[in-house]
Amino acid sequence: MLDNIGVDVKEDSAALISLIDTLFPRRRNDPDSMFARMCAVHQFICDSLSIVGYDESIENKPLLYYLQNKKIDRLHLYALYRKLLRILDIKYYYGYGRNKYAGVLDSAVAASHHITDVFFGVKDSKEKMHFFFVSKPDETFYPDEIPSYLEGTTAMLVYKHDEKSDSEEVIPMKIPPSTSQVNFHNERMKITIAFDKEEDRYDFREYFSGTLASEYRTYLNKITSKNKDLDTEYLDHMFPDNTQDTTIVMENSSVPPFPVTINYLFKCPTLLTEIADSFYTIPLKKLIHFEVVTGNEQSRTLDYYTEQKYQHRCDYQLEFDKPMEIVNGNKFNVTTENGFGIVEAKIQQLNNHTIMIHLVYAVNAFHLPASHYSEIKTLEKSFDRFLNSAVIIKKI
């Protein structure tokens, strides 16, 4: 099984050894040297090599070729990892995993067609295991970054004590699921509204963390690889009539929980609709743009499984150029919580010029018994009631 991961590449040369020693100092006296070298290898591959689909022109080249030309297909990438880890004396485990939607990985008979993911495991000086997943053409995995579809599954770690021997140590390992405290998408927005102008000014900042950050970074990579503009592909989806000024990627971290922060400055047609003299409405649908888990069936026979636990939070600050007051403010305070998750919404007038809109939607369960399926619909209805309402204000 081990020898079927990737393909073999031609043997090492003095030039290759020299290049590897330059790229990855061995630091043998450092107790964390093995883990540090693995991080260096993985980071170098993530940052410096272009991962492509199958390309016959680069098939079965010497290992030095891939490092010098910085282009490699995924099949040869596994072999590149193997060679680098052996040359650098890094003790590693092979990891085998199976997408939880494909079924449970049979540890007794781990057939290759049952394995959806192959990765590497390396221990640090405190014997803690760290995971390293091989990147894809449009998806990069940082150290300890795990695909969401493997969370909660049992993977198999295989350690070969001697490369020339057939003896292997096989260790089942539960991959712990992350929580909605780690996986979150926070939106903070300040909207400046002038009663006599046709456009509002937006200062919109998004924070992604955990598996949601991984998914969003993959989305960014796909946009970049197609030479498309982030503003057109993403911002226009939420605010189709925006006039964009600036987009800044403020943070894109390779350290758990891999936070990504984006800031947008733009203008949009005004949220206000005048319904009578000095009275205006603000439809929340024009402002809030995210989806919740929907219950498309009235009932279920099978249990329901979610992809991940997560939280989506919105905090919107509306600043008006003239004094105003909310006419229907009491109807917006909503809290609905059950075993599946929570919907929490509140609209508050802070002063004569400021309104705060707060909304949280969280999924706190991986598994929901069929008999509790109505809990999904309960949260969905609570969210929809809030989303389909409108704030009525009076200019004073």
- The CATH number linked to 125 is 3.10.620
Angle between helices 33-48 and 74-87 (to 10 degrees): 150
CATH of the domain at 318: 2.60.120.1130
Domain assignment present for residue 273? The answer is yes
DSSP 109: S
Q: What six digits make up the tokens of 188? A: 């903070």
Could you give phi then psi for residue 95, rounded to 5 degrees? -115, 135
Statement to judge: residues 139 and 33 lie in one domain: yes
- Are residues 286 and 254 located together in one domain of the fold? yes
pLDDT higher than 80, residue 30: no
Q: 360 pairs with which residues across the strands?
A: 313, 344
The reply to whether 167 and 211 lie within a common domain is no
Q: Quick one: 343 and 199 in the same domain?
A: yes
- Side-chain half-sphere of 88: how many Cα atoms within 13 Å? 29
Residues 134 and 211 in one domain: no
Segment 235-243 long-range contacts (CB within 8 Å, at least 24 positions apart):
235/264, 235/266, 237/289, 238/289, 239/202, 239/266, 239/268, 239/289, 241/268, 241/269, 242/202, 242/266, 242/267, 242/268, 243/199, 243/267, 243/268
Q: Residues near 64 by Cβ (< 8 Å), separated by ≥ 6?
A: 13, 15, 16, 19
Domain count, the chain: 2
Domain annotation covers residue 21: yes
| pLDDT score for 29 | 55
Confidence label for 1 from pLDDT (cuts 50, 70 and 90): very low
> Is residue 132 in a domain?
yes
Pair of tokens at residue 13: 């040369």
Examine residue 179 and state whether it is found in any structural domain, yes or no: no
Range of the domain at 305: 184-395
**Position 362 in a domain:** yes
Given a cut of 90, whether residue 63 has pLDDT beyond it is no
Entry pTM: 0.86
- pLDDT tens by residue, 112-152: 888 999 999 999 989 999 999 998 887 889 999 999 999 88
Give the residue from 122, 147, 174 where a domain finishes: 174
- The rounded distance, in Å, linking the Cα atoms of 147 and 101 is 13
Cα–Cα dist 275/392, whole Å? 9
**241 shares its domain with 299:** yes
Q: Examine the fold and report which residue of 151, 174, 197 is the final residue of a domain before the chain moves on.
A: 174
Instruction: Encode pLDDT of 217-251 as tens digits.
Output: 888 777 666 655 655 667 887 888 888 888 888 89
The one-letter amino acid at 170 = V
Mean pLDDT score, 341-352: 96
Whether residue 370 is contained in a domain is answered as: yes
Q: In this structure, is residue 347 part of a structural domain?
A: yes
Closest CA to 94 of 165, 3, 192: 3
